Chain A
Amino acid sequence: MAEYKWPDADKRTFIGKRISRIDGPQKVSGRAKYSFDINRPGMLFGRIVRSPHAHARVKSIDTSAAESMPGVKAIHVMAEPGKPTAELNWVGASVVALAAVDEPTAEDAMRAIKVEYEVLPHLVVDTDPKMAGEYARPANENKLGDPDKGFSEAEVTVEGMYGLPVITHCCLEPHGSVMEWEGDQNVLAHLSTQAVTPSVAAIARPLEIPATNVRVQQDHVGGGFGSKFGPDEWDITAARLSKKAGGKPVKMFNDREAELMVAGARPSAYARVKVGLKKDGTITAWESQSWASGGLGSGGSPPLPYIFNIPNQRRQHTAIVNHIGSARAWRAPSHPQGCAITMAALEDAAAAIGMDPHDFFLKNIEMTGQRARIYEDEMKIAADLIGWKSNWHPRGDEGAGPVKRGLGLSIHTWGGQGHPSDCDLIIQPDGSVELKMGTQDLGTGTRTALNIVVADTLGLPMDKVKISIGDSRFPPSQGSGGSTTIGGVSASSRRASLDALDQIFAKAAPALDAKPEDLEAAGGVIRVKSNPAKSLTWAQACSKLGVTPITVRGKNPGPGKLTDQGVGGVQMADVSVDIETGIVRINKIVAVQDCGLIIDLKTAESQVYGALIMGVCYALYEEKIMDAKTGRMLNPNMEFYKLAGIGDIGDLVVHMMTGKGYDERGVIGLGEPPVVSPGAVISNAVANAIGVRVPTLPLTPDRVLAALEQKGGK
């Protein structure tokens, strides 16, 4: 029986090294096919007529003109007058779908459909809970310890208001699919998804066919970030249109406007916070009144206070339900909001007593619980990398000229335990190897990680292992969310590879005149541990299988400790603020992050770089801007829904905590944690630079100048 553990450092060929992603050549050459790129014979193009009103009821729909157009092959009413679906709750809500022979025809047909609406009252703004009226849903107050006592013990009390608006996912590949029927019982779905395996049931259910009759395929996905966990209503609709059109494939993808309006939003979060502390920096009490909106569902309440388990707390949260489109999970759900609010409030508290926030955080680090030592280690490294001790100054850069410089810091956590994930490892008698798994590669490098684990375990070059993912016919693997993928797929594939090796060893042992347990796989051979000269090539060993390949099922969870959860990260930012224009420029951001054993250092670092950049975007630019009167999103395009470009991110430095103390924990997910802190570090750095807190993100010139004005001239 194999021992299910990761190889020791000196036995790793690929694990933990910087390995280029194996699908890189496809991606850089345009050969990688995303679901949006799928063209099928006879394919029709789907379009959806969407609500121009934030809240309305469909009174009537006239599709007759569209139906009579020769190129229109199917029409499906999604919001049926007289039925509950007729009530539309955001601008962009689906009303009628159609499929036509080409995109121009589909667009003309959309314009030919006449819809009458009864307009209902709406709410789309969330900056003031008092304005929300009946849409505000206050929850009960939460208490921890004795907040009154905590504040009475405090020598200083600091109050502030902090917030982050709703932002959208803005996946570059929009949500959508190519749906087709094979006969009248089987559906082939080319879906753009973070969840290949789970999508099968979600497609079968509304179509009322057995899940066994649905196949989901996806080679590559152009971004998800938490917003692509299932088929959307428009995907199901595409399947319905396909059926109406005799099974012809229907391609239905959001245009950019719809993508930004309806395909996902990260809930806002705002809070009035009071922090009580002693002059030596000890935090004694926390009080917060928070509110958030995430569409008609609850946006969830941000974890406040974040990470620091302040002994005495009073918290109250109000959910605002409104007509902005539904919230979806957005990379580390609720953590960026909780972090930005908490770390800003704590940094303000440190500033109020004239304490360096670096020292202030360390002073209270025990409140972070079991990861206190990790944070301490990471703080040291981050401080060195950014030159904290030499570059930090008390609030307000006193230097001459309009450009002020400042430093900020923040810490964060995340779980990241590996998810349930099965795989089949197939070894052919000719020595060829294939791993099949119903997972997906969001661009995190899942394919590459699987290849590394299998090749490293079997002692083979990476190109001798074929990795097949992105098909629901492969063994089930959960959706990629919550940083659960790498732990799940690496553990599962490691177990399968170890089990397969056992079988190969058993077959090869007689030929090597050794016991199976005395063998090892390395450098493309199966050899005797004590006498490496005694060996069979991999192909010779596999030929002992005779004519039957072996198939080994790998599973997670399973025996052995291959994955763990709970990480900590520290980030520090160095920014410049032009106080005459309010423009913030990033000079440098340092991210120090642990994630247990790293499978591929190159793609792991890329995850962190990417998270920092996404963080710069939401710290400085991103905001789903809603018009109170019309209920419209005003910036459903990439001109005014601003994202950072290549010149806007400064210099980024990533330091991964690896080696002793980290590797032995096993593999832990990395997608979420580094995206938690950037809003906080940039906000804190700006406050340090200009001497005043800019209360809400994004830190746009209007907000920065308003904060400066309130501070009073200087």
Chain B
Amino acid sequence: MQDDDDLKEKGSGLSRRSFLKVSGISLSVPLVIGHRVIKVAGADVKVYGPAKVPIQLTINGKTSTVNVEPRVTLLDALRNDLDITGAKRVCDRATCGACTMIVDGKPVYSCSVLAIEAQGKQITTVEGLLQGDKLHPIQQAFIDNDAQQCGFCTPGFVVASKAFLDKNPSPTADQIKEGLGGNLCRCGTYMGVRAAVAQTAQKGGPRNG
């Protein structure tokens, strides 16, 4: 249960009410790096932002820190702040799949994940599929089957295909169509993608029908 006291901030003297009156523009100016602790429902809860906060991201096994506002997406943090640009910003609305990353083993649209939410999670991007300079089998299969033209959707498709094959090592043709329904290509590379996924499935783990 809450009462007004619960909403008082510790330390800062600013009440939540007055904070909410602060205009949108001044909110965005990076004032503070760090977080505040406020007491709600008898517990101390950290509140981050709206100014920039340090965010630790574990990307392809390596941990990096970025200072960004909570509103920055995982995709934008990687592209703009860490120069990891394999994932692309295309629809920016969780529709096209060009930004696909694997977070804790699951494929996600990184345009619709906040960077701050992704802390403490294992993030894999298309760059992380390489083993040294060696291409992952699905990457090689994309080349073999020309599953790319302009290549802008390709990183998202490669990552989505990897996640799909991890879950479905021996897919049927119909499963491939359903399993990659979250990615769009404009040049029209789907025939190649189908063949690439099928090729990798055959090469990869046991086919248990």
Contact = CB atoms under 8 A, between A and B. Distances in A.
Direct chain A–B contact by Cβ atoms under 8 Å: yes
Interface of A: 20-21, 23-34, 36-37, 39, 45, 65, 69-71, 102-105, 108, 111-112, 170-174, 220-225, 255-256, 442-445, 602-603, 605-607, 609-614, 637-639, 643-647, 649, 652
Given A70-B29, A649-B190, A443 B151 contact: yes
Contact of A255 (B92, B95, B142, B194): B92
Interface string B1-43: 0000000000000000000000011001110000000000000
A221 B146 contact: no
Contacts of B186: 170-172, 223, 225, 614, 643
Interface in B155-209: 155, 158, 176-178, 180-181, 183-194
Most buried by A among B29, B126, B139, B187: B187
Nearest to B98: A172
Given A220-B151, A606-B146, A30 B86 contact: yes
Contacts of A172: 88, 90, 96, 98, 150, 152-153, 184-186
B125 to A, nearest CB: 7
B148 interface: yes
A223 B185 CA distance: 10
A583 to B, nearest CB: 16
B123 interface: no
B95 A637 contact: yes
- Residue from the set A23, A223, A255, A603 with the largest chain B CB neighbour count within 10 Å: A223
B93 interface: yes
B95 A638 contact: yes
B154 A27 contact: yes
B123 to A, nearest CB: 13
B28 A104 contact: yes
Contacts of B58: none
B150 A223 contact: yes
Contacts of A613: 185, 188-191
B89 to A, nearest CB: 8
Contacts of A603: 146
A646 B179 CA distance: 9
A29 B130 contact: yes
A103 B140 CA distance: 35
Given A172-B186, A613-B188, A39 B83 contact: yes
List the 8 shortest-distance A-B pairs measured between CB atoms, nearest first. A30-B86, A613-B188, A222-B152, A610-B188, A443-B150, A647-B177, A443-B149, A27-B151
A25 B135 contact: yes
Contacts of B86: 29-31
Nearest to B28: A108
Interface of B: 24-25, 28-30, 69, 71-72, 76, 79-80, 83-93, 95-96, 98, 125-127, 129-130, 135, 139-140, 142-144, 146, 148-155, 158, 176-178, 180-181, 183-194
Nearest to B129: A29
A649 B146 CA distance: 17
Nearest to A640: B95
A24 B146 CA distance: 8
Contacts of B185: 172, 613, 646
A24 B150 contact: no
Nearest to A26: B151
B25 A65 contact: yes
B190 to A, nearest CB: 4
A70 B69 CA distance: 16
Contacts of A25: 135, 139, 143
Contacts of A605: 146
A33 B83 CA distance: 11
A174 B177 CA distance: 27
B115 to A, nearest CB: 12
A70 B30 CA distance: 10
A221 B150 contact: yes
B150 A173 contact: yes
Contacts of A37: 79, 85, 88
Contacts of B98: 172
**Most-contacted residue by chain A among B24, B95, B152, B194 (CB, 10 A):** B152
A418 B131 CA distance: 41
Contacts of A30: 84-87, 125-127, 155
Given A108-B24, A172-B152, A606-B146, A256 B93 contact: yes
A639 B85 CA distance: 24
Contacts of B187: 223, 443, 610, 614
Contacts of A645: 180-181, 183-184, 190
A21 B85 contact: no
Given A28-B143, A29-B139, A646-B194, A443 B148 contact: yes
A220 B192 contact: no
A173 B152 contact: yes
B184 A610 contact: no
Nearest to B190: A646
Nearest to A642: B184
A36 B25 CA distance: 27
A114 to B, nearest CB: 12
19 contacts: A23-B151, A24-B146, A27-B142, A28-B135, A28-B139, A30-B127, A34-B85, A37-B88, A172-B88, A172-B150, A172-B152, A174-B90, A222-B151, A255-B92, A442-B150, A607-B149, A613-B190, A614-B188, A638-B95
Given A21-B148, A103-B72, 4 more contacts: A26-B151, A104-B69, A104-B72, A613-B190
A256 B92 contact: yes
Contacts of A24: 142-143, 146, 148
B93 A69 contact: no
A638 B189 contact: no
A638 B185 CA distance: 11
A446 to B, nearest CB: 11
B29 to A, nearest CB: 6
A174 B89 CA distance: 9
